[in-house]
Structure 1
Amino acid sequence: MARRLLQHGHSLVIYDKDQSALDELAALGARVASSVREVADSAEVIFTSLPSPAIFKAVATGADGIIEGGAVRILVDLSTVGSRAEQEVASALATKGIETVDAPVSGGAAGAENGTLALMIAGKSEVVERVRALFDVFGKVFIVGEQPGQGQLLKLLNNMLSTTAFAITSEAFVAGVKGGLDPEVMMAVINAGSGKNGATLDKFPKHVLPGTFDFGFPISSVCKDVGLAVEECQALGVPMWLGNAARQLWNVAAQQDGADRDLTDLVRTVEGWANR
C-alpha cells in the first residue's frame, strides 16, 4: 500500500520495525523516520497497519506515540484490531484534536499490490472525504458507517467467513482425495455448483493445488481475527456455535504445526489428522 502511494506521486514519511521494509520504500523515494513520534511530527495524515490490538494502542496512544505528534490531524487505521480497540484509540486521540478513520482492508497481499483491495471505511463523512483520494489508490471503497469500530466489525465478520470456508474446504478436499477423487475435477464440479466459496474460487486453485502455499497471510493472524470476531459477536448476544468450532480448529493447527505458516498450509495439517 505504501508503494502504491509512492507510485501515485504522494510523499511518504515511514517507520517500521522491519528494516528491510524501510529500505525497500526508501529506495522508491520515501523518507525514513527514526520513530513513530517523528512520523506524527511530520505528517498530517498517518496510516497504520499493525498486527494486534495491543500494538495498535501502544503505537497510537503510548509514550511518544501518534497522540503526541505535532503535525498529525487524521489517523487512518488499516489494521484488523476489533471495534473496542478502535473506539478506545479514537476517543483518546479526539482529546488532542486528532480524528480517526477506521479503514480495515480485505484482499490479501495480492490485492494490496494490485490496488484491488476492499476498504471498509467508518468515520465522520467530512474527515473521510479529506482522505478519499488516498483510498482510491488502494482499491474499492465501501462506506459502512460514521463511527470508528464499525469497519472493524465488518472486517472481522468477513475474515471469520473467509477462514471458516477455507477450513471446511480443506476437510472436504482431504476427504475427497483420500476417497480417490481427482482434486482438479473436484474443483471444477464444486465451482460449477452450490459449494463454491472464496477458498475454492481463489485460494485452492492458486495456492493449494499448485503446492506453493503462499497466499501471504499467517495462521497466527487467522487465530487473532477469528478470536476477535467470536468475542465481538458474543458481546452482541449472538451464540457462536460454528465460529467457536472454527476458532478451535485454527488454534489447534497453530499450536501443533506452527503459527507462522501460511494459512493455506492448514490443508497439510488436516492431511496429518486424516493420516493421509
Structure 2
Amino acid sequence: MQDKIGFIGLGAMGRHMAAHLLRKGHEVFVCDTNDAAAAALVTQGAVRCDTARRVGDSADIVLACLPTPDVVERVLLGAGGVVEGGRVRVVVDHSTTGPSMARHVAERLGAQGIAALDAPLAGGVAGAEAGTLSVMVGGDAAAYARCAPVFQAFGRKVVHVGTQPGLGQVLKLVNNMTVGATLIATSEAVLFGIKSGLDAGVLLDMLNASTARSFASESLLAGAVASRRFDFGFRMDLMRKDMRLYLQEAEAAGAPAFTTALTKQFFDQAMASGQGAEDMTRVVQVLEQLAGVSIAR
C-alpha cells in the first residue's frame, strides 16, 4: 500500500512540490496558515488539515517546507505539532535550519519512534515549479529508501548524503554560502569592469565563456540582475538567515568563515535599507550604489 503523504508549508516552494506529488498520484494532506494556498491544493485533490497534528494523524510521511528554524521547531515538535500525530512514521524537513536544529528534531522525533530526515533543497522556485529540484538528504538509510519515490516526484537530483542527522543541512549551507559569496565577489568585479568602460552585456557574455563563470554570473547577474527583474525567487531575509546559520555552525565546527562574515554584511545592509522581503539578488544594488553604475544590459 502506498504511503499517505502530509505536506506542511505551501509557500513559494512548497505549493509546487505538493502539486507534483498530487500529479504523481499520491494522496496528500496539506496544512498552511494561508487559506488561499491550501484551497488551491484542495482544488487539485489534496485534503486540508487544520493543524500540524492532524497531518501527523493522517499521513505516514510528513514533509515540511518552512521559513525559519523556530517555525520548524514549533510545527514539528510543539504543542499540536506533528510529533503528536498518531500515524506519522517519517518526518522530512525540507527547510533550511542548520545541522544543530536537524539533530535536535531527529532526537526528539526518534524518542517517539518517528524517523527524521533533513532534506533541504536547491534549485529555487523555478526548480520547484519544474520538478527539477536537487534534494540533499541526511538521516536513516531505511527512512531514505522509503521516501526516495516521494522525493523523485519533485526532484531531479536526489542524493542520500549520509546517515548522520544534519548532513543534508550542512551541504545546503555550503551551497547557499557559495552562492552568496560568489554573487558579491562577481558583482564587485563586474562593476569595476563597467566603471572602467566595458559594456555590461559584452562583459557578462565573455565572463560566462571564460574560467570565471559561475551560477552567480550565468543565472543571477546575466539574468535577474542585468534584466533588472530581480526575480530569482529567494527572499533577501531568508538568504541572510542562511548566512547567519552558516556562521553559527562554522564556529561550532571550528571552521574559518572570514568570507561568509564579510558577505553577510552586504545582506545586512540590504536588510537595513528595507529590502528584506525583496528578492535576494537586490543585494547587488548595495554595491551598485557604491560604484555609481549599474549591471544592466
Aligned twin of 2:291: 274
1:75 is displaced (CA, Å) by 0.1
1:77 and 1:101 in contact (8 A); partners too: yes
Paired with 2:125 and 2:212, the residues of 1 have a C-alpha distance of: 25
Aligned pairs for 1:131-210 (under 5 A) are 131-139=147-155, 140-210=157-227
**CA RMSD of the aligned region, Å?**
1.2
CA distance in 1 between counterparts of 2:229 and 2:41 reads 27
Q: Deviations over 1:228-253 (max 9, x none)?
A: 11211121111211111011221122
| Cα distance in structure 1, aligned partners of 2:133 and 2:26 | 19
In the alignment, which residue of structure 2 is the partner of 1:60?
76
**TM-score normalized by structure 2?**
0.90
- Kept in 2, the 8 Å contact 1:174–1:267? The answer is no
For residues 197 and 277 of structure 2, the distance between their equivalents in structure 1, rounded to whole angstroms, comes to 31
Deviations 1:87-144 (A, max 9, x none): 1111011111110011111110011111111111111111111111111112211111
Q: Give the corresponding residue for 2:256.
A: 239
Match of 2:129 in 1: 113
Q: How does 1:5-154 map to 2 (within 5 A)?
A: 5-139=21-155, 140-154=157-171
Contact kept, 8 Å, 1:47 with 1:76, in 2: the verdict is: yes
**Does the 8 Å CA contact 2:269/2:286 hold for their aligned counterparts?**
no
Shift of 1:274: 2.4
Among 257, 269, 286, the alignment partner of 1:252 is: 269
Query: Between the two proteins, what is the percent identity of the paired residues?
Result: 38
1:17-57: CA deviation from partner (whole Å, max 9, x where unpaired): 12221122111111111111111111110000111111111
Q: 1:15, 1:39 within 8 Å by CA — same for their partners in 2?
A: yes
Residue deviations 1:201-254 (CA, integer Å, cap 9, x gap): 212222112221111101101100011112111211112111110112211221
Output the amino acid matched with 1:55: V
Alignment partner, residue 4 of structure 2: none
Q: Which runs of 5+ in 2 are unaligned?
A: 1-16
State the Cα distance separating 1:273 from its structure 2 match.
Answer: 2.4
Instruction: Report if aligned partners of 2:266, 2:283 keep a CA contact under 8 Å in 1.
Output: no
Does structure 2 conserve the Cα–Cα contact (< 8 Å) formed by 1:6 and 1:30? Answer: yes
The separation in 2 between residues aligned to 1:5 and 1:107, in whole angstroms, is 17
CA distance in 2, matches of 1:194, 1:120: 27
Q: 1:71-94, CA deviations, whole angstroms, 9 ceiling, x for partnerless residues?
A: 111001101000111111110111
What does residue 230 of structure 1 align with? 247
Conserved? CA contact 2:98–2:245, under 8 Å: yes
1:170 Cα deviation from its structure 2 partner: 2.1
Give the alignment partner of residue 216 of structure 1, picking from 210, 233, 246. Answer: 233
Do the aligned partners of 1:48 and 1:77 also contact (CA within 8 Å) in 2? yes
> Secondary structure of 1:272's partner?
helix
- Structure 1 gaps of 5+ residues are none
Q: Distance in 2 between the 1:174 and 1:30 partners?
A: 48
On the 8 A contact 1:170/1:266 being kept in 2, the answer is: no
Count residues in correspondence. 276
Q: Which amino acid aligns with 1:120?
A: M
TM-score normalised over the length of structure 1: 0.96
**What CA distance in whole angstroms lies between the structure 1 residues aligned with 2:139 and 2:187?**
37
CA contact (8 A) 2:57 2:88 kept: yes
Structure 1: how far apart are the matches of 2:73 and 2:172?
18
Amino acid at match of 1:60: L
Deviation >3 Å, runs of 4+: none
Of 124-133 and 178-187, the range deviating more from structure 2: 178-187
Give the aligned residue type for 2:182.
Answer: A
